[in-house]
Amino acid sequence: MNNVRIAMLGSGFVADFYMQGLANVPGQEVVCAFSQNKKNAATFAKRWAIAEAETNLDKVIARADIDLFIIALPNDVHLPVSLALSKARRNQVCTKPLGRTRAEAKKMLEAVERSGMMNGYAETEVFAPAVVKARDMIEQGGVGKVLWVRSRESHSGPHSPHFWDVAKTGGGAMNDLASHCIEAARYFFGKEQKIVEVMAWGANLEHAKETKAEDNALLMMKFEGGGLGHCELSWTTKGGLDLRNEIHGTTGSIFTDVTRGTPIAAFTSQSAGYVVEKADIDFGWTRPLPEEAFAYGYQGEMKHFVECVRHSSEPRETYKDGYIVNCVLDAGYQSMRHGRWVRVKY
C-alpha cells in the first residue's frame, strides 16, 4: 500500500498535537486540512506544509483519495461529522470525549458499526510510553492483582473559550479531563472488568464568571472485580499540566509521572521559550518536557491508527471504548447532581 492519506478535520490545539505525533510516523501523508474557518484552515495548512486547505466538509468527505479522517473538532460537532463519515463509509478516528453524552456516543458507535469501516478512539493516555510500560509490568504479574488505580489530570484551565460553554462541550473539568483517567483505569484493571458504579463530586471554585460547569471534580469508580479507580480533575492547578497515575496491587505498586518527573529542570530569569502544556509562566524554576507529543501518547496512537488502516485491522481503542467512557461520565454527572453512588448504564 502507498502512503496512508489523511484528512485532518480541525485546526486547533489537539489538531496541532496530532500533527506533532504524525511527524514521526512513516508511511502517511496529511493531504488536506479542514476547518470551518477559512483563515484557520489556511494558517494550519501553511504551518504544517499541508497541500490543501478546505472549508467544505462534504467536498473533503467525497474525496476518493483519502484513507483516514481524523476528527479533531470541538465536542459539539463530533456527532454530525462522524455520522457523515459513516454514511459515506470512510475510516475515522475521533478525539475524546467521543460525544457530549452517552446518547450522542451511542449514535456514533451504531452508525460506524453499520458502515463496517475502521474507527479509532483517540485516547492518548493509553498510548503514552510510561502507561504502556506500566501495563506491560501488570501483564507480567509485577504487582499481582490490581486493587486501586489513582489518576490525576489537572491544569490551570481550558486553552479555548468554547470549553467554558457546557452546551458545546457537555460538561466542565470532569468531562474534559476524566476521559483520560477512566480509560487509564480500564487499561490497568483490564477491559474485561466493567465499571459498575460511580460516585462524583464537582464544584466551581474559581471560574464562576466564565462557566456554570465544575472547574474541579473527583470521580470514584467501582470495578466488578472489587477494585477502585480514583480520578482527580482540576482546571485551577497552577504550574502546567499535572499528569500522574498510581497502580496499587497485591504485590506491588507502579507510579507514572510524565510532566512533574521530566529529565530536565531549569532556572531562568527570563523566558527561554515553550516549557510544557498549560504552563502558567516560562521563566523561574521550570520542568520542560522534551518530545511532548511522544510522552503524552500522540505519536503512539497516530502510528497505531495509521497501521490499522494499512493492514485493515481493528484498533485497540475504538468507538466502543469511547462509548463506555461516555457512559461512565454520564453516571458521574448524575452522581454529582444527586450526591450518591450511581450504577453505570451501558
Clarify whether residues 190 and 247 are in a common domain: yes
Mean pLDDT of the chain: 96
How far is 306 from 73, CA to CA, in rounded Å? 19
Q: What is the pLDDT of residues 190-240, one digit of tens each?
A: 999 999 999 999 999 999 999 999 999 999 999 999 999 999 999 999 999
Q: Is residue 85 part of a domain?
A: yes
SS3 letters across 94-161:
EECCCCCCHHHHHHHHHHHHHHCCCEEEECHHHHCHHHHHHHHHHHCCCCCCEEEEEEEEECCCCCCH
Give the pLDDT band (50/70/90) at residue 343: very high
| Average pLDDT over every residue of 306-328 | 98
Instruction: Tell me: pLDDT of 312 over 90.
Output: yes
1 pLDDT band, cuts 50/70/90, is low
Cell numbers of 129, please?
A: 510510553
pLDDT digits (tens, 9 = 90+) for 259-278: 988 999 999 999 989 999 99
Q: Are residues 82 and 158 in the same domain?
A: no
What is the CATH classification number for the domain harbouring 114? 3.40.50.720
What is the value of pTM for the model shown? 0.96
184, 151 contact by CB (below 8 A) = yes
DSSP state for residue 222 in the 8-state scheme:
E
Residues 291, 191 share a domain: yes
Nearest to 288 by CA among 300, 303, 272, 304: 272
Residue 261 lies in a domain: yes
